[in-house]
Amino acid sequence: MMHMSKPTVAVKSVIIRFAGDSGDGMQLTGDRFTMDTASLGNDISTLPNFPAEIRAPQGTLPGVSSFQLHFADHHVRTAGDAPDVLVAMNPAALKANIKDIPRGATIIVDKDEFTTRNLSKVGYETNPLEDDSLSSYKIHAVALTSMTVAALAALPLSRKEAERAKNMFALGLLSWMYHRPTEATEAFLKAKFGKKPDILEANLIAYRTGWNYGETSEDFATSYEVAPAHMPPGVYRNIGGNIALAYGLIAGAKQAKLQLFLGSYPITPASDILHELSKHKKFGVITFQAEDEIAAVGSALGASYGGALGVTTTSGPGIALKSEMIGLGVMLELPLIIVDVQRGGPSTGLPTKTEQADLLQVMFGRNGESPAAVISASTPSDCFTMAIEAVRIATTYRVPVFLLSDGYIANGSEPWKIPDVTVLPDLSVDFAKSQEGFLPYDRDPKTLARPWAIPGTKGIEHRIGGIEKQDKTGEINYEPANHDFMVRTRQAKIDGIEVPDIEVDDPTNDAKVLFLGWGSTYGPIASAVETLRNNGEKIAQAHLKYINPFPKNLGAVLEKYDKVITPEMNLGQLAMLLRSKYLKDIVGYNMVRGLPFTTAELVEAAMGVLHND
C-alpha cells in the first residue's frame, strides 16, 4: 500500500454508495471496492441497484446505476439504510440519490459533469453545487473528468476513451479515504485489460491519480480506518448469491455423483447462474441454452429421466411458462430443480429489482393438485447451502424442488467462510437395477419415492407419462379411487420430506413477539432485531428456509408467541400460508418497492406491535 501522511480517524462502520450513469462503470467500481474491503477483514454487505435499460440516455434519471456497500468492524446484516458517503458521477446520480442521504453525510461529485445542459436534463434550475441546497452536507466537488483526462494526456487515447477511466479515479480516491489496499485492484486491472496495454495503463494511472489526489489535495483533510471485524477463523472470500448458487449446484451434483445438466433461457436476474455454470464444463457440467423457458425445463426433465441431475434457472415470468412441464415432473416423479431468482412482477414488472411475490406461484401455480417442494435461500452465501439441499430433496424424494432466491441476494454479496468440501453430505443415489417384474410406481415405504429407473437398464423397460397412472404399475388408469389415491400419495410424499426444525433466536426465552421472515429479508430483520435488543426490547427472531413442507416444529413456535410479525416484499403471501395452515394470525409488514427493507422501517414496525396494545 502507498504511504499515507494525513491524519486518520477510526470509525466503526461506513456505508458508501457509488452512483453514476449506467455506462460509468459503477458496478465494477463497487465490486472492486468490495473486494479490497473484504480482504481487509471487514464484514460487508452490498446492494447493487441498476436500471433494466442497458444504456438509458446518458445523464438522465432512468439511466442511473448505483452500488451500495456497508462495511464494518463488526457483523453487518444489510447494505445499510443511509449512506455516509455518496459518490455521484453526474447531476442525475445526485438527484436520484439525494433523498436517501442523511444530512451531514459526505457527497463527492464530479463537478465537470455539472454543466448547464446536464443540469437541465434532470430538472435542476440552478447548479446545486452553487446554490445553498446542499449546505447541510460535506460536499467535495472534484474535477474528476478533467483530472482523469489530464493525467492520461500522454497516452494515445481519444478523449472519450480517457474519460472512461474516471471511475478508476473515483475508486482510487475512495481507496485512499478508507485505507483500502491497492494491490488487488491493480492485479485485477492487469488481468482484465492485459491485452489492451493502453487501456490498462489508463486505468492504472487514473486509479493512482485518484489515490494521490486524496493524499495531496487540501479538499480531503482526513482519511478513515475501519478495523477488521471479528469473524470465526477460516479462509474467506466474498460471494454473491448467483455464484454461490451455481457452486452449490456443482457441489450437490458431485456429492450425488450425478452429471449436472442445466437447461436455461436467459432472464434477469438469473442469467448469471447460466453464465457461471457454463464456465465449469470440466466438472462434467452440461449447460444447454434452450430456445425458450419451456424447452429449458423440458430438457432438464429429459436429462433427469436419463439419470442426470436436471436443473433449470429462471425468474418469475419463466416459472409461469414452465408450469405445465413442472406438472409433468410432479406426475413422472423425477428429480428436478427449478431455481427462481425472483424479481418485481407481475408480467415483465421490474426486471432488475427485487421482490418475493412468486411464493404462491411456485406453491400453487399449476393445474390440478400438483405439490412440489419449496425451499428458499436467505443470504448470498446461503444460496450455496440451499442449492445442496435442493439436490438432496430432489434426488431422495424424486420430486420437483423450487429453490427461491431473489434479485437482492442474487446480486448482493457478503464474505463467506469457505466450507470444507470433505464434510459436505453424501448424496449418492441408487438407480433401479435390472429385475423381473419391475414396477415403476412401487414406492419406498419411508420416502414414498418411486424407483429412478433410467433407460439403458436391461429388463426394466417401461412407459410413463402425464396421464394418471395406476399405483405400482404406472399404467394409464382413469379409475376414481386410483386417482384419489395417487393425488393423496403425491401430496403425502411432499408432506413427508424431512427438513430441519426452524431455529428460534430468543436469548431471554420470554419474548412475546416473534419476527418471522423468509428469503432475503433475513438481513434487514436480523439488523432490526439487533437494534431493538440494543434498545432494551425483547423480541425473538426465526427464519423459514423450508416452505413446502414447513418444518415440523413451526406450529409450536408460532403458538409460543403472542404476536408474529412477518415482513415480506409482497402483499402477504407467506402470511396467507401460515394463517391457513396454523390458524394463527400474522401481522404482515409488506412493501413492494423493488428494494430490500430498511432496518429503520422494520424497527418501527416492530415497535408498533411491541407497544401498541
Partner 1 sequence: MTDVTLTKKDFTSDQEVRWCPGCGDYSVLSTMQAFLPELGIPRENIVFISGIGCSSRFPYYLNTFGMHSIHGRAPAIASGLAISRPDLTVFVITGDGDALSIGGNHLIHALRRNVELKILLFNNRIYGLTKGQYSPASEQGKVTKSTPYGSLDTPFNPVSLAIGAEATFVARTIDSDRKHLTEVLRQAAAHKGSALIEIYQNCPIFNDGAFDQVKDNETKEGSLLQMIHGEPIKSSTFGVIRDGAALKLVELSTIDESQLVIHDAHASDPSYAFALSRLSGSSLEHTPIGIFRDVERPGYSAMVNDQVTSIIDSAGAGDLEKLLNSGDTWVVD
- Report the interface residues with partner 1, using CB under 8 A: 35, 38-39, 41, 184, 228, 231-238, 247, 250-251, 254, 259, 261, 263, 280-286, 288, 290-292, 294-295, 298-308, 310, 324-325, 327-328, 332, 417-419, 421, 455-467, 475-476
- Shortest CB 519 distance to partner 1, Å: 24
Q: Which triple of cell numbers denotes residue 1? A: 500500500
- Shortest CB 394 distance to partner 1, Å: 15
Q: What burial class does residue 378 get, using C-beta atoms within 10 Å of its C-beta: 0-12 exposed, 13-18 middle, 19+ buried?
A: buried
Q: Of 209 and 312, which CB lies nearer to partner 1 in the complex structure?
A: 312
Residue 519: phi, psi to the nearest 5? Answer: 70, -150
Longest Cα pair distance anywhere in the chain, in angstroms? 88
Q: Which triple of cell numbers denotes residue 350? A: 421490474
Q: Of 73 and 112, which CB lies nearer to partner 1 in the complex structure?
A: 73
Q: Which triple of cell numbers denotes residue 499? A: 427438513
- Shortest CB 186 distance to partner 1, Å: 13
Q: What burial class does residue 426 get, using C-beta atoms within 10 Å of its C-beta: 0-12 exposed, 13-18 middle, 19+ buried?
A: exposed
Q: Of 263 and 523, which CB lies nearer to partner 1 in the complex structure?
A: 263
Q: Of 110 and 276, which CB lies nearer to partner 1 in the complex structure?
A: 276
Instruction: Render 548-603 in DSSP notation, one character per residue.
Output: ESPPTTHHHHHHH-SEEEEEESSSSHHHHHHHHHH----EEEE--SSSPPPHHHHH
Q: Of 144 and 394, which CB lies nearer to partner 1 in the complex structure?
A: 394
Give how far Cα 1 sits from Cα of 14, 254, 598, Å.
Answer: 21, 40, 35
Q: Of 261 and 402, which CB lies nearer to partner 1 in the complex structure?
A: 261
- Shortest CB 32 distance to partner 1, Å: 10
- Shortest CB 48 distance to partner 1, Å: 17
Q: Of 199 and 301, which CB lies nearer to partner 1 in the complex structure?
A: 301
Q: Of 296 and 511, which CB lies nearer to partner 1 in the complex structure?
A: 296
Q: Of 248 and 524, which CB lies nearer to partner 1 in the complex structure?
A: 248
Contacts of 532 (CB under 8 A, 6+ apart): 539, 603, 606, 607, 610
- Shortest CB 454 distance to partner 1, Å: 8
One-letter amino acid of 544: L
Question: Within 10 A of 559 (CB to CB), how many other CB atoms are there?
Answer: 10
CA angle 41, 44, 48 (to 5 degrees): 140
- Shortest CB 169 distance to partner 1, Å: 22
Q: Of 104 and 437, which CB lies nearer to partner 1 in the complex structure?
A: 437
The β-bridge partners of 19 are 66, 88
Place of cell 409482497: 570
- Shortest CB 307 distance to partner 1, Å: 7
- Shortest CB 185 distance to partner 1, Å: 10
Q: Which triple of cell numbers denotes residue 62? A: 432512468
3-state secondary structure of 443: coil
Contacts of 105 (CB under 8 A, 6+ apart): 82, 83, 84, 85, 86, 137, 138
Q: Which triple of cell numbers denotes residue 449? A: 419415492
- Shortest CB 464 distance to partner 1, Å: 6
Say if CB 53 and CB 85 are below 8 A apart.
Answer: no
CA distance 328 to 334: 9
8-state DSSP, 128: T
